[in-house]
Amino acid sequence: MTSSVAEALAYYRQPGPLTDLRPHTARLRDVPLDLVGLCRVVQGLVVHPFLGHLYGLDPETMRHGEVETRPAAGILDRVLALDAAPLSKPRPPEKRFVGNCRHFTVLTCALLRARGVPARARCGFGAWFGGSNFTDHWVCEVWDEARSAWRLVDAQLDAPQREFFEIAFDPLDVPRTQFIVGGDAWQRCRTGGVDPQLFGVMDLRGLWFVRGNVVRDLAAFAKRELLPWDGWGLMADRHESDAAELSLLDRAAELTLAGDERHAERLALQSSEPALRVPPIVVSFNLGGANVELGPGVAN
């Protein structure tokens, strides 16, 4: 193992500003140490707003405002406010935090880092949501000591979802052909190999959307795992990128696909480029383009 890889693993063993669970240290003691058990805990605490029907919930009565929560500690704050039972006890669906794939991923990542396990969020596109489309999605990348490699873990895919989406792979080891990270999608679109209109969610599709996931994925490498609809820098609008932006995005995509021997270079690009760096205030497109001030330490 090179020193750069060792540095990267040490970096991802520690929480970032959005994955710090120290306020809940006492509550973490009963969370299982193994990955299978830990993912089951997350599945028992969070329910996806688009998939409530799989759990007998009426979408109209779900607490959709909870999806605006950014810190993992804030997720647990809400979970415990709804039900103060130990975290290892699955909540009934109506008492679970209402969160999307990003919340499942960030909470999983936070729990792993709390145990000193290298983990990081990845932003990209899932290939299993139907048709030939690649749907906006987040998963967790976890260091596998036995393989000396990262593997993709999707804690969202519990038994009801695996049946609904007809999942044939192991959610604790998602094939790279099934989850396309933002940088990979960008390169496929830039070379003309794949139509950019295949990437996105609902009617939000195209190269501008892929561009956003490249920026979000790079920010997640820097432990700034913002919401899927948070916009900043190159994501301020749906403009067509000029040559300079395309060159910057090409480099960002390359670095998100590179090995950890380029860990320092990746972080340096994210923090030094104004178009990529997370500012103190972002635009929430989920809130109609409202400006949202981030918490302390999130901007870099």
Task: Specify if 57 maps to a domain.
Answer: yes
Task: Specify if 66 maps to a domain.
Answer: yes
pLDDT tens, 99-142?
Answer: 999 999 999 999 999 999 999 999 999 999 987 899 999 999 99
Average predicted confidence (pLDDT) for the chain: 96
Detail the DSSP E strand segments found in 77-148: 97-98, 119-126, 134-144
Which residues, in sequence order, are bridge partners of residue 125?
136, 180
User: Has residue 193 got a pLDDT over 90?
Assistant: no
* Total domains present in the chain: 1
147 — pLDDT class (breaks 50, 70, 90): very high
**pLDDT for residue 132:** 80
Residue percentage of the chain with pLDDT more than 70: 100
Mean pLDDT of 243-252: 97
Mean pLDDT of 230-242: 91
Higher confidence at residue 124 or residue 295? 124
Q: Is the dihedral of CA 35, 161, 91, 62 positive or negative?
A: positive
Residue percentage of the chain with pLDDT more than 90: 93
34-to-38, 39, 155 alpha-carbon distances in Å: 6, 9, 13
Residue 214 is part of which domain span? 3-293
Mean pLDDT of 74-102: 98
Q: Is the dihedral of CA 57, 58, 64, 67 positive or negative?
A: positive
Asked whether the whole model's pTM tops 0.85, one would answer yes
Beta carbons within 8 Å of 170's beta carbon, 6+ residues apart: none
Burial classification of residue 244, based on how many CB atoms lie within 10 Å of its CB (0-12 exposed, 13-18 middle, 19 or more buried): exposed
Burial classification of residue 162, based on how many CB atoms lie within 10 Å of its CB (0-12 exposed, 13-18 middle, 19 or more buried): middle
pLDDT tens, 21-32?
Answer: 999 999 999 999
CA gap 222, 271 in Å, rounded: 8
Residue with tokens 């044939």: 168
Mean pLDDT of 183-203: 95
**pLDDT for residue 127:** 96
User: Has residue 1 got a pLDDT over 80?
Assistant: no
68 — pLDDT class (breaks 50, 70, 90): very high
Task: Specify if 255 maps to a domain.
Answer: yes
CA gap 172, 178 in Å, rounded: 13
**pLDDT for residue 131:** 79
Residue positions counted in the chain: 300
**pLDDT for residue 238:** 85
Task: Specify if 299 maps to a domain.
Answer: no
CA gap 259, 262 in Å, rounded: 6
Task: Specify if 11 maps to a domain.
Answer: yes
Mean pLDDT of 187-208: 94
